[in-house]
Amino acid sequence: MEALQLRKSLTTFDSFHRTSGHRSLGASLSGRSAAFLVSLLALTASGKAQKTSCPDSIVTNGTFATGLVPGSMPSGSVANWSLLTASPQVVTDTCSGAPGAIQMWGNNVVGESIQQTLSMPIVGGQTYRVSLCYRWLDNSNPVLPKFVKFRVCASSTSPSAYPPTASYDVIGVTPTTSSTAWIYYSFPDWKAPQNATHLTINPENGSVVNDGNFVSWGQVDDICVRHVPCPGGIVANGDMSSGLVPGSMPSGSLANWSLLTASPQVVTDTCSGAPGAIQMWGNNVVGESVQQQLLTPIVKGRKYRITVCYRWLDNNNPVLPKQVQFRLCASGAAPSTYPPTSSYDVIGVTPMTTLTTWTSYTFADWTAPNNASYLTLNPENGLSTNHGDYVSWGQVDDICIREVRFCPGTVVANGELSTGLVPGSMPSGSVANWSLLTASPQVVTDTCSGAAGAIQMWGNNVVGESVQQQLLTPIVKGRKYRITVCYRWLDNNNPVLPKQVQFRLCASGAAPSTYPPTSSYDVIGVTPMTTLTTWTSYTFPVWTAPNDANYLTINPENGLNTNHGDYVSWGQVDDICVQDIARAATATPYGCGCRLNQVASAPILGRSMTLTVSGIPSDSPVGFQFLGDVLATGLPLDKIGMHGCWLYATSIFTLPFAVTGSTTEIEVPLPNDANLMGLVVGMQGLALSPSSNAFGLVASNGVELRLGQ
């Protein structure tokens, strides 16, 4: 029945599409687009798992369906929620599913708001995915503003005032809507700046007038806050929550993990998020350990950021050492012995802890020395005696390994200035891929962001220090590039010197030999002047290369043309990024959905892209993705009964997906085909929903995908 309904819908949709002056849904794409579709279909047929994005929400009763007593709070009530300010109304309206929603009025300084003590605290430094459903409420008062948006905040103590205030961490503010139809919205993944135990929600409209004629009404429903253990990670089930069967391995088990040595214990303890952790004993020569074949292999030469959460376990044995640390290793082949051995690459060892409370630790960014397909974890304590009285117990959770993609599609090698770092004046001081051009620039451990490493130089417009690099990939005449640098003025406590600096970036076809700029260089740009000792990140206007170039040069300036040491400025530069726009993978939302909202991770060739579709109605059994050319302005679909919906992709091919919840994630493997580099396609999610409109379909916004690195 569902397949028949889908087929009928697509047939009608196809007919309307063609009569509107566009090609048929099944029309053949040409060239690279067709090749992409063929490759994509072949990969998708392999059956990548699809999953709901909010099975473990830390919000209780986010649908407002439990304990529903309609009316103004506090006489009106709903389980787990309470009023924060004024008297929000509990109503039986619903975005999807069972009846229940909250109705409120407000602007940016006054209004109604609600709060909840979360079922599990938000942990500072962890990432969370937050979504909700909302709409403007027309109460037939012509004076009031006809639009609304909602603010979601977190706080570590019970809130007491109308948000926002300085004591709240703002998770996000939804886009403004003037529609009385429900809209699902997923905020960008949010990294919590600190711990929090309470959630607050309030309506706003941009007005700061404390007057009843300047407030807006709205309704909110389906609040979802889910811990995202490791966005883009290559470790499967890193939060140890899937397939949890407590007990000693192998009878105790956990999806994607297996014992390597002895019998590690699967437990329901957790660092953050859903229950699940691994408990092990060991020292530096003997013990328990676990292993996993990674989702995506580690690639030699690439940089990775690794985080774990761990703690010492006190098992009330006074003989045992009261400290523990954990070692992480990578290997190309399936491991077989207690790590570490010479056949493993050591990612790192955590600091020693004596705490029974959880500690989250991020290793220094690690550049893989070899390809690797397996990960191993084991506890240690610094002791090398093979005896049960010399081992320590510990627990580990939330294993996250992500490739650090500082600058997708960059033509610059080691733009973070972190690899091969030897502090000092060049040439004795050095950093991989960079060399001095003039004088003796200094390699330092200061950093704008990320791993340690920066270049320190002095100069003005006619004399000074400078660095150069032969680019990873040559700059090509006529191509467009996006260039970003991070820089700051350096105060060396010399009152004579100018207190400002800027940096010039140039490209050249041949190896440079003089202090830039000269007539043989193409000037990419000069940063704004800064007098700040704090780092400033600056992105130049998109630059079209006037000539081919193989080299990049960087030098400090200050606007002065006097060749004298009293007229030079000092500065530091870091994070040099020169992106070939055609090679950088990007996913850009456009347009506005009717009920559905869609976002996508970067479409990197050779990897999986995640499409997240939210706002799926409860009566929707199946959805599908339209894939083809971008239709930026959209095509209105009111004429076929999809009121308020727009078509955002043409030359469409359809990819069905199973609906697993109101928010569903779809893993889409992308072909590793360099011929598809720079290809731009549009994607739009749709879902069957007989109750939503006459046509029985709801649609998302569009997402423009640029395939790349």
> Which pLDDT belongs to residue 26?
39
Q: Are 59 and 227 in contact (CB under 8 A)?
A: no
Average pLDDT over residues 179-190: 84
Q: How far apart are CA 498 and CA 645, in angstroms?
A: 59
What pairing do the DSSP bridges indicate for beta strands 424-425 and 442-444?
Answer: antiparallel
Q: What angle do CA 236, 237, 243 make, to 5 degrees?
A: 125
> Which pLDDT belongs to residue 391?
96
CB atoms within 10 A of CB 704: 19
> Which pLDDT belongs to residue 707?
87
State percent of the chain over pLDDT 90.
Answer: 52
> Which pLDDT belongs to residue 5?
46
Q: 413: which residues sit within 8 A by CB, 6+ positions away? A: 432, 433, 469, 471, 472
pLDDT-based confidence at residue 136 (cuts at 50, 70, 90): very high
Pick from 39-43, 223-227, 451-455, 661-665: least confident: 39-43
> Which pLDDT belongs to residue 487?
96
> Which pLDDT belongs to residue 44?
45
DSSP label of 440? -
The sheet carrying 549-557 orders its strands as: 435-438, 466-475, 549-557, 502-508, 522-526
> Which pLDDT belongs to residue 451?
72
Average pLDDT over residues 637-664: 79
> Which pLDDT belongs to residue 162?
82
pLDDT reading at 313 higher than 80? yes
pLDDT-based confidence at residue 29 (cuts at 50, 70, 90): very low
> Which pLDDT belongs to residue 484?
93
> Which pLDDT belongs to residue 25?
38
> Which pLDDT belongs to residue 194?
86
Distance of CA 325 to the CA centre of its chain: 28
Return the higher-pLDDT residue of 21 and 85.
85
pLDDT reading at 61 higher than 70? yes
> Which pLDDT belongs to residue 221?
94
Quickly list DSSP for 598-640.
EEE---BTTSEEEEEEE---TT--EEEEEEEEEEEEEEE-GGG
> Which pLDDT belongs to residue 7?
46
Pick from 329-338, 342-351, 613-622: least confident: 613-622
Average pLDDT over residues 596-610: 83
Whether this prediction's pTM lies above 0.75 is answered by: no
The DSSP H or E segment spanning 34 is: helix 31-44
> Which pLDDT belongs to residue 11?
53
> Which pLDDT belongs to residue 352?
97
Q: pLDDT digits over 402-416, tens only?
A: 887 678 778 998 999
Q: Are 482 and 539 in contact (CB under 8 A)?
A: yes
pLDDT reading at 231 higher than 50? yes
pLDDT-based confidence at residue 644 (cuts at 50, 70, 90): confident
CB atoms within 10 A of CB 76: 18
The sheet carrying 586-590 orders its strands as: 586-590, 697-706, 680-688, 622-636, 646-658
pLDDT reading at 513 higher than 90? no
CB atoms within 10 A of CB 617: 21
Q: How far apart are CA 341 and CA 327, in angstroms?
A: 12
Q: pLDDT digits over 323-345, tens only?
A: 999 999 999 998 888 876 667 89
- DSSP 3-state of 39: helix
Average pLDDT over residues 110-134: 88
- Cα-based distances in Å from 373 to 222, 235, 295, 331: 39, 10, 8, 6
> Which pLDDT belongs to residue 166?
63
Q: Are 166 and 68 in contact (CB under 8 A)?
A: no
Query: Dihedrals φ, ψ of 552, to 5°?
Result: -120, 135
Please, which residues bridge with residue 425 across strands?
442
Q: 608: which residues sit within 8 A by CB, 6+ positions away? A: 48, 296, 667, 668, 669, 670
For residue 271, the one-letter residue type is: C
pLDDT-based confidence at residue 582 (cuts at 50, 70, 90): confident
> Which pLDDT belongs to residue 602?
82
Q: pLDDT averaged over the chain?
A: 86
Q: 387: which residues sit within 8 A by CB, 6+ positions away? A: none
pLDDT reading at 228 higher than 90? no
Q: Are 567 and 584 in contact (CB under 8 A)?
A: no
Distance of CA 617 to the CA centre of its chain: 26
> Which pLDDT belongs to residue 52?
36
pLDDT-based confidence at residue 364 (cuts at 50, 70, 90): confident
Average pLDDT over residues 110-118: 95
pLDDT reading at 479 higher than 60? yes
CB atoms within 10 A of CB 41: 12
